[in-house]
Amino acid sequence: MTLPVFKKHSVPVVLAPMAGISDTVFRRICAEHGCDFTYTEMVSAKGLFYGGKKTRELIRVSDAERPAAVQLFGSEPGIVSDMIKAIADEYSGEIAMIDINMGCPMPKITGNGEGSALMRDVNKAARLMEAAVKASPLPVSCKFRKGWDEAHVNAVEFARAMEQSGAAMMTVHGRTREQLYQGQADREIIAEVVSAVSVPVFGNGDVFSGESALNMLEKTGCAGLMVARGAQGNPFIFDEIRAALEGAPYSPPSEYDRMSEAIRHARLFLEEKDPKLFPELRKHMSWYTKGMRGSTELRRAVNAVRSPEGLMKLLYRFRDTLEPENGENPAEGCGEE
């Protein structure tokens, strides 16, 4: 089955599916900065099966971020395949691919035999992939890790099983489940997977800059790059990586520009979602302002603020303290949101 077009770049750079982070607003902003492809947050197949309203809302994909994939997690082939059929029917033309999560390390996921727990039973994971591929009119991919732990590094075996079961592409995170997000991502294991299968393999783990993106490509020979934590509070990373890939100069944004994008992120969030959900913005604002002078005090204030209006005033006031560029007026719009 033909893979979706990744905006015609020879090396696609995509945004990882991050639970509680990769919502429609964040994905849109990353797409505007050069992200080639986005994934929804992890969507529970079982949650969809039982009609969970919040779960269904996670599937929505905006025009601004397409092409995009829906990432499902589950361990029961029947439920996963039924939900893939339902998604493909209801969202025909809106999504380009289905991705099966086989790499999430969180205990609440692995405890149910889902996410990276599937790496402990290759045959079970293969049956799940076969059912997903059979049910889907769209390409089906998967994301997995190096292995469960250092005593059970089986990414190559797992990748071969996924390819034989019909996976159209795969993404490998170069850490074990045991590592969570600690230590360094293993580029060598990703390279081994690339050599072991014929479908496209994307590399994931420790892509935090243009330099690290080039290193991932050089060390692994992967077909594309997936950015996760490197994009948190830093959608500009896609501009930086694209410049590095093209050998073009890159100037990082000023603190004023970073803060302006943070404010825009907050405004888009409040326009699109229930304003009562504004506390979800706290983590994003912390990431955007990391390392800025006065950010610790801002973070305390943001965590204590009780209204979206109060949040916006804090953000504008903080931007006023930063050095503007090109004659920009730092007070513009202050207190008006």
SS (H, E, C) 25-54: HHHHHHHHCCCCEEECCCEEHHHHHCCCHH
Query: Would you give per-residue pLDDT tens digits along the chain (337 residues)?
Result: 667 777 767 899 999 999 999 999 999 999 999 999 999 999 999 999 998 788 888 998 988 888 899 999 999 999 999 999 999 998 888 899 999 999 999 999 999 999 999 999 999 999 999 999 999 999 999 999 999 999 999 999 999 999 999 999 999 999 999 999 999 999 999 999 999 999 999 999 999 999 999 999 999 999 999 999 999 999 999 999 999 999 999 999 999 999 999 999 999 999 999 999 999 999 999 999 999 999 999 999 999 999 999 999 999 999 999 977 654 443 443 333 3
- Reported as type and span, the H/E element at residue 83 is helix 77-90
Contact status, residue 144 vs residue 173, Cβ threshold 8 Å: yes
For the chain, give every domain's residue range: 13-246, 255-320
Contact status, residue 100 vs residue 129, Cβ threshold 8 Å: yes
| Interatomic CA distance for residues 105 and 315, integer angstroms | 34
Nearest one of 6, 5, 1, 2 to 242, comparing CA atoms: 6
Given this structure, which CATH class describes domain 13-246?
Answer: alpha beta
Catalytic residues: 104
**Given this model, what pLDDT does residue 56 score?**
86
